[in-house]
Amino acid sequence: MPLYELTAHELHEKLKAREITAVELTQSMYHRIGAVEEQIDGYLTLTEEGALESAAVADEGFQRGDEMPPLAGIPIAIKDVICTKGVLTTCGSKILGNFVSPYDATVMTKLHQQGAVMLGKTNMDEFAMGSSTENSAYQTTRNPWNLETIPGGSSGGSSAVVAAGAAICSLGSDTGGSIRQPAALCGVVGMKPTYGRVSRFGLVAFASSLDQIGPFSKDVTDCALVLNAICGHDPMDSTSADVPVPDFTKCLINDLEGVKIGIPKEYFTAGIDSEIEESVRSAIAVLQGAGATIEEVSLPHTDYAMATYYIIAPAEASANLARYDGVRYGFRATNADELGDMYRQTRSQGFGEEVKRRIMLGTYALSSGYYDAYYLKAQQVRTLIKSDFDDAFEKVDVVVTPTSPTAAFKIGERTADPLQMYLSDVLTTPANLAGLPGISIPCGLTSDDLPIGLQILAAPFEEEKILRAAYTFEQNTDHHRKRPKLSSK
């Protein structure tokens, strides 16, 4: 089996046994990237030189026989919304087209400490706003399972490169489903940790109260290993939680005896593709077979989640994106003749349509006279959505749902209809509003051979319950072993 098909934990064994070197592994990854990237277009920037240097450092450790961290020498891709020192960090936007970050995000510092190897920066919807990665100012990433379909979004580059074997793991960010939805559509594991679990320092903000960094991987074990590396309190992020981080690999137990699983009836309504519902129902049966008890729960305010999300997220974004003004860094329009015109021209030319749409939505929602009716009301509904989950988690350990109502759709199919596009996230946004951890794992393929994702949610800081259920499912099925049939050039 080629190295790119292996998981991080399998590669770690080979590195430790010195069957392979990290440099060889890295070189083989760039070879794979060269073979498939033309079809996928998942990367915006490749950092081969730095990657080979990191790999060489890891090799020295392995050769000395040091106790090496699980991600040492492991090739990882980073969503271009995470700041990487000395490397372009564009957020998929023209307005940051020339922006080289002067500092590393906290997650990057943590990955470097592990000795991980950064392969490059991945494509994304501009400023993480989108569900198909079609809103990138640079390129359209294609789903490795079917090159005519989208990979999901906004972290579509990060999910596609893992699915295509062009990275072993990757990091994405999830504001309304931007890790879980593309993971589902690309047939990989993707997890959004609890809000506050991973430092946001260096994650370019879309919606500060919703954003969270998380991993993509081929299996749940790798997911746990990346979580171990990136979680933890950061004094640089006031919203990061000062709570102990467990060793997430300890909860990877193939058994669900005594575990209660809730099925929220509001997530199985019209709009869910029947093949997807079928696949998720049979996944629930697998979990039941592993010892879990299944019960129906109700999350009565689910219907309001989309509207709530599309007020809060744009409102925060409208302020977060105000700093891109052409004054200090990034793109500046050259045809302006005075300050106000410089702002207008820079932002009109620098931002794409969807970003401008959301800035306007958010600005409107915060405006004097509308604030109470929109933003304040949305915050109140957010509290209700959270308390729905609080009630549910009094009865059950985890909640299981489909991740996305449909499988990957055709490129261009929904770009003309923003509302249709927004519905891609209808099952994932509630977890962001409530600050919950959530995972998407592969649970089958449609008749068109497109992956289907199973979403598992838990109460805040109970990632271990999610990982245990996901791991058990994985051990009793082989969906996670399926790979797209990409033809190398």
Partner 1 sequence: MMLVDFSIDIPSGEQNMASKYETVIGLEIHAELSTNSKLFCNCEVKFGSAANTQTCPICLGMPGVLPVMNQRAVEYSTRAALGLNCKIASYSKFDRKNYFYPDLPKGYQISQYDLPLAYDGYVDYELDGETKRVRINRIHLEEDAGKLVHADVTGNPNQSYVDFNRSCVPLLEIVSEPDLRSPEEAIAYWRAVKEILEYVEISDCNMEEGSFRCDANISLRPVGSKELGTRTELKNKNSFQHVLTALEYEEKRQARILDEGGEVIQETVLFDINTGRTASMRSKEEAHDYRYFPEPDLVPFEVDAAEVERIRASLPELPAERRQRFVAEYGIPAYDAEFLTATRQMADFFDETAHLSGDPKASSNWIMGDLSGLLNNAGIEIQDTQVTPDHLSELIQLINDQIISGKIAKSVLPDVFETGNPPKQIVDEKGLSQISDASAIESIVDQVIKENPGPAQDYRDGTQKAIGFLVGQVMKATRGKANPQMVNQLLQQKLSG
Residues that are catalytic: 79, 154, 178
| Host H or E run for residue 262 | strand 260-264
Structural tokens at position 145: 């399972």
Write down the least CB distance from residue 257 to partner 1, Å.
Answer: 39
Task: Out of 65, 238, 244, 270, name the contact with partner 1 by CB under 8 A.
Answer: 238
Stretch that binds partner 1, among 81-89, 116-124, 186-194, 380-388 (CB under 8 A): 81-89
Beta pairing class for 293-297 and 398-402: unpaired
Write down the least CB distance from residue 85 to partner 1, Å.
Answer: 10
For position 249 contacting partner 1 by CB under 8 A, the verdict is no
With CA atoms as reference, report the closest residue to 183 among 398, 403, 4.
403
For position 137 contacting partner 1 by CB under 8 A, the verdict is no
298 Cβ partners below 8 Å, 6+ apart?
264, 265, 266, 388, 392
For position 128 contacting partner 1 by CB under 8 A, the verdict is no
Structural tokens at position 27: 């070189």
Angstrom distance (rounded) from CA 161 to CA 37: 8
Q: Please check whether residue 40 is in contact with residue 66, taking contact to mean a CB–CB distance below 8 angstroms.
A: no
The CA distances from residue 262 to 217, 298, 465, in Å, are: 25, 9, 13
Write down the least CB distance from residue 344 to partner 1, Å.
Answer: 10
With CA atoms as reference, report the closest residue to 88 among 120, 118, 117.
120
Task: Out of 5, 19, 63, 236, name the contact with partner 1 by CB under 8 A.
Answer: 236
For position 235 contacting partner 1 by CB under 8 A, the verdict is yes
For position 472 contacting partner 1 by CB under 8 A, the verdict is no
Task: Out of 71, 189, 204, 408, name the contact with partner 1 by CB under 8 A.
Answer: 204
Write down the least CB distance from residue 209 to partner 1, Å.
Answer: 4
Task: Out of 14, 103, 246, 345, name the contact with partner 1 by CB under 8 A.
Answer: 103
Peptide bond into 154 cis (omega under 30): yes
Task: Out of 28, 239, 249, 477, name the contact with partner 1 by CB under 8 A.
Answer: 239
For position 230 contacting partner 1 by CB under 8 A, the verdict is no
Write down the least CB distance from residue 105 to partner 1, Å.
Answer: 6
| Host H or E run for residue 118 | strand 117-122
Stretch that binds partner 1, among 178-186, 302-310, 326-334, 444-452 (CB under 8 A): 326-334
For position 367 contacting partner 1 by CB under 8 A, the verdict is yes
Task: Out of 2, 65, 258, 368, name the contact with partner 1 by CB under 8 A.
Answer: 368
Task: Tell me if residue 442 falls in helix, strand or coil.
Answer: strand
Whichever of 296 and 341 has its CB closer to partner 1, that residue is 341
With CA atoms as reference, report the closest residue to 198 among 173, 223, 217, 169.
173
Backbone phi and psi for residue 275, each to the nearest 5 degrees, phi listed first: -60, -35
Instruction: Look at the block and give the residue holding tokens 């879990």.
Output: 292
For position 316 contacting partner 1 by CB under 8 A, the verdict is yes
For position 201 contacting partner 1 by CB under 8 A, the verdict is yes
Stretch that binds partner 1, among 13-21, 155-163, 297-305, 319-327 (CB under 8 A): 319-327
Whichever of 63 and 348 has its CB closer to partner 1, that residue is 348
Angstrom distance (rounded) from CA 466 to CA 469: 5
For position 266 contacting partner 1 by CB under 8 A, the verdict is no
DSSP single-letter state for residue 149: B
Q: Which residues of 394-404 are buried (b: 16+ CB within 10 A; e: fewer)?
A: eebbbbbbbbb
Residues found near partner 1 in the complex (CB under 8 A):
82-83, 89, 91, 96, 99, 101-103, 105, 200-205, 207-209, 235-239, 315-316, 318-319, 321-323, 325, 327-329, 339, 343, 363, 366-368, 371, 375
